[in-house]
């Protein structure tokens, strides 16, 4: 079946612009996660949802970052007034349940802020 | 605070050599442990996981890992690597019952034919 789909695959934007990154999880997966991975680092947790409810947003670095999953399926991660330090790979993952269930990752969106 | 340490940043091996990648974690409570692999140009994939029970877990492609609670370790092993094992390997931990993962910085493995 289809895996986790993220779009766009690459995004180049100018500093100060807003960007929206999309994640389409595996159909039927309850939980959805956003991670950010800087070059040479492991993925860093940002936030996650069970269905449409945002359960934990403790990893969002500041209030320029927000995420939503209004219908419990597709999710959007929005970064307002982008800065160069926001450049990274943004990874989305989904899991079948919210309990002891492995994460399935998408290919990621490579964001470059110039 | 939770953290995962992978001490080997880049490992270079010849085919048929044995592999062991170190992973140590710090977490306040019982844990689930994972190894993920990222092949060149592909997404992160689950290699193996430990939730409970036998501390020696076997994953795909001949990989295994051993959970040693007293050492807070979950090292990844493979007796004989292949060129196709060239990839980046990430160790990760979550709290028992939780799914959000904390990752190490990764180990890049290069296998020379």
- A3 and A91 Cβ atoms separated by less than 8 Å: no
Determine whether A1 is exposed, middle or buried from the number of CB atoms within 10 Å of its CB (0-12, 13-18, 19+): exposed
Query: Which pLDDT score is estimated for A25?
Result: 97
| Residue A9 binned pLDDT confidence (cut-offs 50, 70, 90) | very high
Task: Note the pLDDT of residue A39.
Answer: 87
At A40, list the tokens.
């040479």
Mean local confidence (pLDDT), B55-81: 96
Q: Which residue among B51, B100, B105 sits closest to A42, beta carbon to beta carbon? A: B105
**pLDDT for res B104:** 95
In the predicted model, what is the mean pLDDT of residues A33-52?
93
Residue reference for tokens 């085919």: B15
Is the distance from CB of B44 to CB of B36 less than 8 angstroms? yes
Region A73-83: mean pLDDT is: 98
Question: Helix, strand or coil for residue B82?
Answer: coil
Mean pLDDT throughout A49-75?
95
Interface-testing mutation among B27, B87, B100, B106, with chain A (most A C-beta atoms within 10 A): B100
Bond from prior residue into A8 cis (ω within 30 degrees of 0): yes
């Amino acid at each position: 079946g289809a895996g986790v789909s993220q779009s766009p695959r690459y995004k180049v934007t100018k500093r100060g612009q807003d960007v929206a990154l999309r994640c389409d999880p595996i159909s039927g997966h309850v939980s959805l996660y956003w991670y950010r991975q800087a070059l040479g680092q492991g993925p860093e947790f940002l936030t996650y949802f069970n269905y449409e409810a945002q359960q934990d947003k403790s990893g969002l670095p500041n209030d320029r970052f927000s995420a939503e999953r209004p219908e419990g399926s597709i999710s959007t991660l929005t970064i307002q007034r982008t800065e160069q330090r926001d450049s990274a790979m943004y990874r989305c993952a989904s899991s079948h349940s919210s309990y002891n269930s492995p994460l399935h990752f998408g290919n990621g969106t490579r964001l470059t802020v110039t | 605070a939770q953290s995962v340490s992978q001490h080997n940043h880049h490992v270079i091996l010849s085919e048929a050599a044995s592999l062991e990648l170190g992973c140590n974690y710090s977490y306040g409570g019982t844990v689930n442990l994972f190894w993920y692999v990222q092949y060149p140009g592909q997404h992160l994939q689950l290699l193996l996981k430990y939730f409970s029970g036998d501390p020696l877990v076997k994953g795909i492609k001949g990989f295994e890992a051993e959970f040693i609670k007293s050492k807070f370790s979950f090292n990844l092993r493979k007796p004989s690597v292949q060129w196709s094992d060239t990839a980046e390997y990430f160790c990760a931990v979550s709290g028992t019952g939780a799914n959000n993962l904390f990752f190490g910085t990764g180990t890049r493995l290069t296998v020379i034919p």
